[in-house]
Amino acid sequence: MITIKDIAKLANVSDGTVDRVIHNRKGVSPKTAEKVKNILKENNFLLNPIASALATKKKYRIACLIPKSDKKNQFWKSPNLGILKARKEVTRYGLQIDIAHFDQYDSKSYLKKFKILQKNKPDAFIIAPVFSNETAFIAKELENNSIEYIFINIDNKKYKNIAFIGQDSQRAGFVAGKLMSLGLPKNSKCGVVQFRQSLIDHKAISNRISGFNNYLKEHRNDIKTKLIKISLNDKKNDLTKIKSFLNSAKTVSGIFVPSSRASYIASLLPEYVNTSNFSIIGYDTTEDNIFYLKNDKIQFIISQRSFNQGYEAVHIISDFLIQKKVPQKKTYSPIQIIIKENVDYDSRNKKTFINELSNQ
């Protein structure tokens, strides 16, 4: 293992000079710089990232811009826990993790929380880019200040995030299409739920829908789909819409919910629907979704190790800052097919961490 000292000896210069060359610092003549560079290459020298990390005075700060979760919106609870776990670990390395939770239905809160985080001048951002347009502003802001950022859970090609961690949502929709078609008789009809206008630009959701439609188009073009617009606020009205959809054809046999709110649809489902011929397919193993899965109201949940998404995101950006380790562009979470029978084996990590927390 060749060190800076070794290189210095070989080049007949001091350690400091080698250090300057390695980091492209000024104060070294072109001649010696060239000489040192060559010797560096010849011995294919690499910095010892551990010693480097220890010696670096700089303390990094990472900001997380993540939706908050509550009883109605449980999905983000899991990534948040993952972030907390990772925070515990990286704090030892002199890293500081700021977390701000925004309202995922309020784009203004997204921007507001971003600006708050920005005040601490973080060195990197972890962002859940729920709002496409506002993300444009944020991305620009960060790029102007050459602050790197990664996306978590929701991807968006338009931006220069150095990494994405989450599911391939297009493919996740595709798999949903496959699962759905499993139970669809010839020429039947299937609903696709869309919750309120404001989430139209939620890339993960729109990708799931397009993946879903793609599957049906490619493999089951006998199937008709119908968009069902649901308010999420007006339960009575929502119920009416579901009922009218159910009555809109002879063979209605499934509803695809491209978000984590399949439980809401399940809760609206009238008792007379024969669930053995009818499928609800949704995403993410939230408490409510699991409840309805176990009660045969939801047939499939596609989950994505969301706890790990938070956990990995922090580690990826930490390694990038400290060790200059360039992350993979895409870290895809598994497309887990969760059914009644295997749901209890899902997301062990999260459970262990929650236990750790409560033991303190």
Give contact residues for DNA (rule: CB under 7 A). 1, 3-5, 12-17, 19-20, 22-23, 26-33, 47-48, 51-52, 54-58
Residue selected from 54, 200, 354, 357 as contacting its own copies according to rule CB under 8 A: 54
Q: Which is nearer to DNA, 92 or 329 (CB)?
A: 92
Residue 320: CB minimum distance to DNA, A? 14
Buried b (16+ CB within 10 A) or exposed e, 231-247: ebeeeeebeebbeebbe
**Taking CB under 8 A as the rule, does residue 256 contact its own copies?**
no
50 binds its own copies (CB under 8 A): yes
Q: Does 41 contact its own copies by CB under 8 A?
A: no
354 binding partner (options its own copies, DNA, none; Cβ < 5 to 8 Å by kind):
none
The full DSSP string for 141-165 is HHHHTT-EEEEES---TTS--SEEE
Contact 260, 202 (CB under 8 A): no
Query: How many C-beta neighbours within 10 Å does residue 68 have?
Result: 16
d(CA 10, CA 39) in angstroms, rounded, equals 7
For 57, the token pair is: 């005075």
Q: Are strands 124-127 and 61-67 parallel, antiparallel or unpaired?
A: parallel
35 versus 305: smaller Cβ distance to its own copies: 305
- Cα separation, 303 vs 282, in Å, equals 9
Q: Output 123 or 238, the one with its CB closest to DNA.
A: 123
- 330 forms part of the interface with its own copies (CB under 8 A): yes
Asked if 117 touches its own copies (CB under 8 A), the answer is: no
| CB 353 to its own copies: min, Å | 11
| Rounded least distance, CB 145 to DNA, Å | 19
Tokens representing 227 are: 């968009």
User: H/E element holding 279?
Assistant: strand 279-283
Task: Using the CB atoms, write b or e for 250-287: b if 16+ within 10 Å.
Answer: eebbbbbbbbbbbbbbbebbeeeeeeeebbbbbbbbbe
307 touching its own copies, by CB under 8 A: no
Question: Given CA atoms 110, 154, 210, 290 in this order, what sign does their dihedral have?
Answer: negative
What mask, x for binding its own copies by CB under 8 A, covers residues 199 to 238?
-------------------x--------------------
Q: Does 78 bind its own copies (CB under 8 A)?
A: no
Cα 193 from Cα 242, distance rounded (Å):
10
Task: Report in angstroms how near the CB of residue 28 gets to DNA at its nearest.
Answer: 4
Is the CB of 25 or the CB of 72 nearer to DNA? Answer: 25
Residue 182 binds to its own copies (criterion: CB under 8 A)? yes
Which residues of the shown chain bind its own copies in the complex (CB under 8 A)? 1, 46-51, 53-54, 91-94, 171, 174-175, 178-179, 181-182, 218, 328-330, 332-337, 341-342, 348-349
